[in-house]
Structure 1
Amino acid sequence: MRNGNVEHTQKSITYIQNNLDNNNISLSDIWPQIKFLLADGISLIPVRDKDHGDKKAKSPCMVSWKPQQTERMTEAELWEAMNQYDTTAIGVVCGEISGRLELIDIDSKYKPGIEALLIKDIEKLYPEIFPKIRIHATPSGGRHIIYRIEDHDVEGNLKLAGRYATDDEVKDQLKAGKKRLSKTINFLETRGEGGYFLYPPSLGYSVVQDVPIPLITWEERCGLINLCRSYDEVIKVAPTPQPTKSQNDYYTTNPFEDFNNTCDPIKLMEEYGWKYLKDNARFIWFTRPGKDNGVSASWNHEKRVFFIFTSSTDLNNERGYNPATLLAEFGFAGDKKKAFRYLVDKGYGQIKPRVERAIIAKAINEKKSGPANLSTEAKESIKAGIERSNVVHPFGEFWKIDDGISIHLSDVIFVLKGLGFCDHLGRLCKFNFDTRIVSNCEDELNNLIDSLRDYVKIEDSNLRDDIYNSIEEKLSTEVKYIRSRLPRMDMKCILADKASVAYKCYTNCILAISADGVKQLGYEWLKGQDLFVFDSQIQQREYFFDQPSSDLYKTYLTNATRYTDHVKNCLGYLAHKKKVKDRAYLIILTEEVPNIKDGGGSGKNVFTGSLSWTTTVHEVDGAIVKTDEKMLQSWNGQNIFVMSDLRKNFYWPMLKNPVSDNMTIKKLYKDESSIPFELSPKFVASTNFSYDISDGGLKRRARPIEFTPFYTKNGGV
């Protein structure tokens, strides 16, 4: 008969409620209802309808009603017991014995108005369940919501929502002699396994929504229970993530606090798959991922705390969670450090003013935007500062101004890189991005100091002088270290001769010489090609393309060398910068005279000197040439290395490696470095003496040019 027709029974209850005083109700008046409840499988017990000695009304009449939790009283047993105890009040035993019956008790005397709020929210959130649930009113204005569970055992009595006890309520407990005082008062509870409740018309209980006791699913029941729990005011919040001490010193409001105070709860939950369900002035309710409906979590607007009711997460459903804790759990598997970094990147956290000022200075110095959680004013200051610094100090400031001036080598090196300094084969070089010329810095220390001083550009003369002094003090012993940290020169950016094209650089232009002719280029052409030239590649004179040519040089070569094809080939070899190992030659200038005393004045020095009109030349006195790592000590990247007037006993085989292979160079006060063959010079040797090259490898590379006695006989060139 469960959930059957209750029309006759409910009419009797309504008649009793409307026409009879509770004191005048007889057992016969309520017996039809009792018979129906028994027939519906409900376990009933007699309950006192008035105080009896120290026994209060509403309490079970029997010493123990535990048997009725597992075995229902028969109609006769119940009639006899109620007659014996002289009562017309009945209690319904909840749990399995009554068909998995459970009740939600809304106690409005402890929370006035809660019954209206909750009933309204049930109707709003569960419109398909609300019409089915049976609702009774209690004498104090509360409500009982009654239902049976279809597919799950009934839990014991549960405390769903409460509030903190007032001072007066605590005093009342003391007056009543309670030894263990309760600091909380519950206003939403269940009556489940092991619980009972009074059924109308007992002691003023009445029917509000007159429907059969419904059978609902466990999921539907949990939705109702979770909704009730969302009203709990006794909030035990899970520990809030805390920043480290150093992080805390950084903020007036740390990112966790800022997020807790300002986050959008709906956006947070939806980001991790939860669905917005409904809301009111106090709460927002959510449905968990994988579920279409029902309350799985709530957001308390006033407390700014989430409650997670579902057991499908690792979270404790008896605790509240602030947004930062949920973010760490949902997004970062509980890793609060990762959550902290995420919040900083999202702009959360209010930085202390003194810290922010330091960040602004550092950000401008490093050309960075700074952390995302800077104030709007700080971000604008950084933007303006960077724009200003990009003009004055495009590579940041290498000095720090605290109690004094401090120079950081890492910042110095960064600035020097920006200014174009680099290391080339153990030598300090500097790119000029405007002229496209690379200069070799022989005096490394002074070159570095001068460039850094020029970079400072501070109007305050005292401060500027302090920085200058700090630069000199810092760099005096750090040149080698600085050079070692500068980038190595990429030779791909240096203009180089090709097999079919030779480039000649003058102060006003560049000539591109090929079999097709001569083309004049401006230095702006280098910028378009993203190329540079060494200053040692530039002949220190202007070239005028339309200037009439002269036969004077040709006449000189004819008189001095007969200007044979061999001489022309040698001149072409020397004028072309490109070097290939199988075509590496030693050009030897000597004289035709059989007797050395008859030589001299033949024009060899004019020959080597005139090479500087077509390429770059470095000439050393042959008398002091050393064929070891110091051989190129005075060389600075010129295309031709001339050894003039080699002595009679010069050891020619020592030139084999320099001519045909890599070289080792030892500059004064610097470490040895290796010069790749392609970057080493071409060699010219002149001598007034006969020579005998016995080494076959060098002999194959020797290309002699014999000078005639023409100018010797005619008094010189």
Structure 2
Amino acid sequence: MQYSPASRSADVSPVLQTALAALEAGISVVPICHDGTKRPALSSWKRWQTLRPTAAEVKAWFQRDPRRGLALVTGRISGSLIAIDFDDEATFLAWRQSIQGDRTLNELYEEIAHGYEERTPSGGRHLLFRCPGGTDSRSQPLAVRQRPRRQVLIETKEEGGIIIVDPSRGGVHPSGRPYLRLCGSVSSICQLAPTDRELLYTSLRAFDEPPPRATCSSLPPCSSPAPFRSLASRDLGSRPGDLFNRDPQVTWESILLPKGWELVRIAQGEGYWRHPGKVGAKHSATTNYGGHDFLYVFTPSTVFQPQRAYSKFEAYALLYHGGDFRAAAKALKQRYRSGQPKV
């Protein structure tokens, strides 16, 4: 359905004009309360996650109370609309600086910003784009600061989400400051391929900080399905996983490096690792913390569960056999028989 320019006369508020333009662009919209709560000004807005309102409904919302703000509904109903929400300007500028040397990422940012970029009342940024054909993900945090308090620095608004946009003003935000569009419009939002979206997300996840590391005494125990009994150095009857854990030829480098993990540095015998696809100075896991020969992972962005310790055999089973411990033990048994135990 088209909404003619004639339906947006000069006496129509800027918020209503933008809402009608969003409908023309295939975007579902909802009104936002002007009491600083940032809540939709509807008894329920869930229906607009799967249905776009009519022009008459939108006019009624905003003509009833012109002080209301405007939010776009993200996800499939709005043409696979996605919003990247930077919590503050410092985080946004740090990310922009981090990609200065990457031509592909710089061009990707310019394409998105040309389509739609705005400054939030807190000084952060909203970047909007569409990604048809991608997975229909729910909104997710991409970067979190852990100290002095947990704070989401960068997050996405995807399936089932909303994002408050310009020209929302006044009491819509707790600060009373406005949302200000810097470039583009709801009619010029660009479209990205799923591969470009993942490249973008990877660059943003570089600002994710792992939760505080547990002390050695509180490391969670290894929990393979059938714990292996301890073995003597020449106990040929021991299980393959025991042999693998004790084998001096098997190192964390031989397990992790072939699977794309990057060893950032080694300090006092402890290895600091980045998981595949992660960029930046932050590490994702450690090995041999406190002299204990375990892998300890911080991030949920890998096959490992975060905040627990893994033995070499557990890591091998997850990385090389999809978590099938029986298949991993069988493969190691054959390798030890052939005299080729090293990964």
Query: What TM-score comes out, normalization by structure 2 length?
Result: 0.60
Deviation at 1:44, TM superposition (A): 1.5
Cα deviation code 1:447-469 (max 9, x no counterpart): xxxxxxxxxxxxxxxxxxxxxxx
Tell me, yes or no, if the aligned pair for 1:161 and 1:234 is still in contact at 8 Å. Answer: no
C-alpha contact (below 8 Å) 1:137/1:205 kept by paired residues: yes
| Deviation at residue 164 of structure 1 after TM alignment | 3.7
Query: What letter matches 1:202 in structure 2?
Result: S
> Do structure 1's residue 130 and structure 2's residue 109 form an aligned pair?
yes
Structure 1 residue 100 and structure 2 residue 76: aligned?
Answer: no
Query: Which of 132, 151, 155 matches 1:189?
Result: 155
Provide the rounded CA distance (Å) in 2 between the counterparts of 1:185 and 1:97: 29
C-alpha distance in structure 1 between counterparts of 2:50 and 2:22, whole Å: 16
SS at match of 1:202: coil
Amino acid paired to 2:125: R
Aligned to 1:79: 59
Structure 1 residue 238 displacement after superposition: 9.4
1:46–1:82 CA contact under 8 A, matched in 2? yes
Considering only CA atoms, is the larger Rg found in Structure 1 or Structure 2?
Answer: 1
SS of equivalent to 2:29:
strand
* Structure 2 CA distance for partners of 1:328 and 1:29, relative to 1, 3 Å: closer
Cα gap change, 1:246 to 1:300, in 2 (>3 Å): farther
Verify: 1:162 aligned to 2:144, yes or no: yes
2:179 is matched with which residue: 205, 214, 227?
Answer: 205
For 2:25, the equivalent position in structure 1 comes to 40
Deviation of 1:199 after TM superposition, in Å, equals 0.8
Residue pair 1:149, 1:218 contacting (<8 A) in 2 also = yes
Give the counterpart of 1:89 among 53, 69, 74: 69
The reply to whether residue 220 of structure 1 matches residue 199 of structure 2 is no
TM-score by length of 1: 0.31
1:47: how far off?
1.1
1:472-504 deviation line (CA, Å, top 9, x unaligned) = xxxxxxxxxxxxxxxxxxxxxxxxxxxxxxxxx
Which of 52, 67, 75 matches 2:47?
A: 67
Q: Measured at CA, do residues 343 and 225 of structure 1 come closer, stay the same or move farther in structure 2, by a change above 3 Å?
A: farther
**Partner residue in 1 for 2:128:** 146
Cα distance per residue 1:154-188 (max 9 Å; x no partner): 3222233324464xx6xxxxxxxxxxxxxx54333
Shift of 1:207: 3.0
Question: 2:209 — aligned with what?
Answer: 233
Matches within 5 A, 1:396-411: none
Query: Are the equivalent residues in 1 in contact too, given 2:119–2:179 (CA < 8 A)?
Result: yes
Query: Would you say the 8 A contact 1:259–1:323 is kept in 2?
Result: no
Bigger mean CA deviation after superposition, 31-40 or 221-230: 221-230
Query: CA–CA distance in 2 between the matches of 1:162 and 1:137?
Result: 20
- The 3-state SS of whatever aligns with 1:126 is helix
Aligned residue runs from structure 1 range 382-397, under 5 A: none
Change (3 A) 1:284 1:73: same
How far apart in 2 are the matches of 1:95 and 1:64? Answer: 18
Relative to structure 1, is the Cα distance of residues 105 and 29 closer, same or farther in structure 2, using a 3 angstrom cutoff?
closer
Aligned equivalents of 1:79 and 1:104: distance in 2? 28
| Equivalent of residue 118 in structure 1, options 83, 86, 95 | 95
Distance verdict in 2 for CA 1:308–1:322, change over 3 Å = farther
Aligned in 2, Cα 1:62/1:330: closer, same or farther, shift over 3 Å?
closer
Q: Please, what is the CA RMSD of the aligned residues? A: 4.8
Between the two proteins, what is the percent identity of the paired residues?
22
Render the CA deviation track for 1:620-679: whole Å, top value 9, x for unaligned. Answer: xxxxxxxxxxxxxxxxxxxxxxxxxxxxxxxxxxxxxxxxxxxxxxxxxxxxxxxxxxxx
Q: Deviations over 1:575-624 (max 9, x none)?
A: xxxxxxxxxxxxxxxxxxxxxxxxxxxxxxxxxxxxxxxxxxxxxxxxxx
Q: How many residues align?
A: 270
Q: In the alignment, residue 18 of structure 2 is paired with which amino acid? A: Q
CA–CA distance in 1 between the matches of 2:209 and 2:45?
33
Hey, what does 2:240 align to over in structure 1?
none
Q: Deviations for 1:534-561, whole angstroms, at most 9, x for unmatched residues?
A: xxxxxxxxxxxxxxxxxxxxxxxxxxxx
Give the distance between the partners of 1:275 and 1:327, measured in 2 at CA: 13
Instruction: Return the letter of the residue paired with 1:233.
Output: E
Q: Judging by fraction of residues, say which structure has more helix.
A: 1
> Residue type of the partner of 2:63?
N
Do the aligned residues in 2 keep the contact of 1:162 with 1:185 (CA within 8 Å)? yes
